[in-house]
């Protein structure tokens, strides 16, 4: 049976709206520190609730809205959470509610990791269906296929998914599509199953590896994460541990692209250069200078970069999450560029916003054909989703005149202190409440 879920595009209405006002045209200089990886952290926090003894202390958790949202959800299950800056402590020994159904659950995509985590530890869970960015149909059939293969009964009723098993029994599971979410979710459940589970055609993203490393630090037995075959030997229980989340590949890529787009000389600190190879390669191909150090990357660029073609692919291919920021840069690159978005079918909604600023782009299905223009001009534009928001900020930074980016609740879900970080690099950008 195939289950297809449509996401809900929920914007917070409970506080004054903010917008970013950007006066474009400044080169960027200096250095920027990258935070912990959002897409690792939003899976590691649910993984932490699988500890039936001791507490988890997790460092390098980014200060973003999606994390705050997930912390509230985990507290609603009966766990105790304390946060000091980027360090989060989770005591899940008091977890007593297997029913995740608050408004926060519906707001964010990654709340679905609670299904795998609760199923693994308690063999039972009820979780409302998740929200997230409106970038296309976001099915969870591969998650369900994995849970069922482990022996769980899965039902969806009234917008809630229920999973239950007498016992979870390890088995071989072949994913029909490469899915980050399904790989992590089934890995969570299989960690506490009886016997051995082998996940084939697994996602290889750095955050999949980070979650596996975290689970192993808790006492799991997982091998092969980072390849397309992951072997999980089930263990009886997991314990709390101390762990530090990897740097955010997508945040880093966004600042690298911004540096290339604006010109200047920017060092992006606290990164794993290997995770950024596909982005570095494209910037080099465009004519920017990219210098890799042990844990930082410097991007230097002058105007006059040339257009390139991009196809988004699972890791180690070019990340779909960087496609939108990259499209803003390609709007002012020389010549024609083509973007083929192979992961999400609706990840070009921001193109209409870029066109308001003078971009010359034609979208045909999953392909955007971009003819570079000499300049973009400031306009009032909206962040249609998280990475679209980052694209509009970059467009505003390079445009002549003033750009206002509205709907930045989306940006706050995934980029910590974006205006402060750009301001420190010399950009003219302010957050205004209205
Ligand atoms: N897919 C299925 N069935 C499934 C699951 C996925 O057909 O059961 C398809 C999707 O429709 C899509 C492809 O497989 O075409 C990849 O989806 P995946 O499951 O990998 O995506 P996800 O886990 O829902 C995560 C990130 C996204 C990122 C994608 C791809 C989180 C919370 N989200 O989503 O991040 O775009 O992987 O790398 O980890 C973002 O950060 O802006 C963002 C959207």
Contact 374, 333 (CB under 8 A): no
pLDDT tens column, 297-351? 999 998 789 999 999 999 999 999 999 999 999 999 999 999 999 999 889 999 9
Q: Encode 194-229: b = buried (16+ Cβ within 10 Å), e = exposed.
A: eeebbbebbbbbbbbbbbbbbbbebbbebebbbeee
* 130 — pLDDT class (breaks 50, 70, 90): confident
Residue 102's pLDDT is 86
**Cβ of 139 less than 6 Å from ligand 1:** yes
**Cβ of 140 less than 6 Å from ligand 1:** yes
Owner of token pair 């039902």: 155
Spot the catalytic one: 133, 241, 262, 331: 133
Tell me, what CATH number does 48's domain have?
3.65.10.10
pLDDT tens column, 77-123? 999 999 999 999 999 999 999 999 888 998 888 999 999 999 999 99
Average pLDDT of every residue of the chain: 94
**Cβ of 211 less than 6 Å from ligand 1:** no
Task: Let me know whether 164 and 275 are in one domain.
Answer: no
Task: Let me know whether 92 and 14 are in one domain.
Answer: no
Q: What percent of the chain has pLDDT over 90?
A: 90
| pTM > 0.75 | yes
Contact 210, 245 (CB under 8 A): yes
Q: Residue with the nearest Cα to atom 12 of ligand 1? A: 343
Domain stops at, among 213, 244, 275:
244
Asked if pLDDT for residue 385 goes beyond 80, the answer is: yes
**Among 84-88, 140-144, 156-160, 418-422, whose mean pLDDT is lowest?**
156-160
β pairing state of 336-340 and 309-311: parallel
Instruction: Answer yes or no: 133 catalytic.
Output: yes
Task: Let me know whether 404 and 335 are in one domain.
Answer: yes
Asked if pLDDT for residue 265 goes beyond 70, the answer is: yes
- CA 45 to chain centroid: 14
Average pLDDT (121-150) is: 88
Task: Determine the Cα–Cα distance for residues 255 and 280; give it in Å rounded to an integer.
Answer: 12
Domain stops at, among 218, 244, 270:
244
Q: Provide the number of structural domains found in the chain.
A: 2
Average pLDDT (32-51) is: 98
Ligand 1 atom, smallest distance to 142 CA:
8
**Cβ of 142 less than 6 Å from ligand 1:** yes
Task: Let me know whether 254 and 299 are in one domain.
Answer: yes
Domain with 213, as residue range(s), is 38-244
φ, ψ for residue 172, nearest 5 deg = -90, 130
Cα–Cα separations (whole angstroms), residue 186 to 5, 53, 123: 18, 22, 13
Helix (H, G, I), strand (E, B) or coil at 133: coil
Task: Let me know whether 291 and 208 are in one domain.
Answer: no
Domain stops at, among 211, 229, 244:
244
**Cβ of 26 less than 6 Å from ligand 1:** no
Ligand 1 atom, smallest distance to 183 CA:
19
Comparing 302 with 244, the larger pLDDT belongs to: 244
Task: Determine the Cα–Cα distance for residues 337 and 398; give it in Å rounded to an integer.
Answer: 18
Q: How many residues does the chain have?
A: 434
């Amino acid at each position: 049976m195939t289950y297809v879920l449509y996401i809900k595009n929920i914007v917070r209405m409970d506080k004054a709206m903010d917008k970013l006002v950007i006066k474009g045209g400044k080169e960027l200089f200096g250095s920027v520190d990258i935070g912990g990886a959002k897409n690792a952290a939003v899976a590691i926090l649910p993984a932490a609730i699988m500890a039936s003894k001791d507490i988890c202390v997790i460092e390098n958790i980014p200060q973003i809205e999606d994390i705050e949202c997930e912390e509230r959800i985990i507290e609603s299950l009966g766990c105790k959470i304390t946060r000091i800056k980027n360090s989060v402590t989770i005591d899940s020994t008091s977890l007593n509610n297997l029913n995740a159904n608050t408004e926060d659950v519906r707001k964010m995509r990654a709340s679905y990791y609670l299904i795998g985590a609760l199923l693994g530890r308690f063999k039972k869970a009820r979780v409302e269906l998740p929200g997230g960015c409106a970038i296309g149909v976001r099915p969870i059939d591969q998650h369900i296929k994995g849970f069922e293969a482990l022996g769980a009964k899965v039902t969806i009723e009234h917008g809630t998914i229920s999973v239950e098993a007498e016992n979870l029994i390890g088995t071989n599971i072949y994913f029909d599509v490469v899915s980050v979410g399904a790989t992590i979710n089934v890995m969570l459940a299989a960690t506490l199953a009886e016997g051995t589970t082998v996940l084939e055609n697994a996602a290889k993203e750095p955050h999949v590896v980070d979650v596996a490393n975290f689970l192993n630090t808790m006492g799991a037995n997982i091998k092969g994460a980072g390849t397309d075959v992951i072997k999980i030997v089930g263990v009886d229980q997991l314990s709390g541990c101390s762990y530090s989340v990897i740097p955010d590949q997508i945040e880093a890529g966004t600042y690298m692209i911004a540096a290339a787009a604006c010109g200047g000389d920017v060092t992006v600190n606290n990164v794993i250069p290997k995770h950024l190879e596909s982005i570095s390669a494209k910037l080099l191909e465009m004519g920017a200078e990219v210098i890799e150090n042990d844990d930082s990357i410097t991007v230097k660029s002058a105007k006059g970069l040339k257009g390139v073609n991009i196809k988004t692919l699972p890791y180690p291919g070019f990340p779909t999450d960087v496609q939108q920021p990259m499209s803003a840069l390609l709007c002012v690159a020389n010549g024609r560029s083509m973007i083929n978005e192979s992961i999400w079918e609706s990840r070009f909604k921001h193109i209409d916003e870029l066109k308001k600023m003078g971009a010359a782009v034609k979208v045909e299905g999953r392909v955007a054909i971009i003819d570079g223009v000499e300049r973009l001009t400031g306009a009032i534009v909206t962040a249609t989703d998280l990475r679209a928001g980052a694209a509009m900020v970059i467009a505003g930074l390079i445009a002549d005149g003033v750009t206002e980016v509205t709907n930045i609740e989306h940006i706050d879900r995934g980029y910590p202190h974006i205006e402060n970080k750009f301001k420190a690099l010399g950009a003219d950008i302010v957050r205004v409440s209205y």
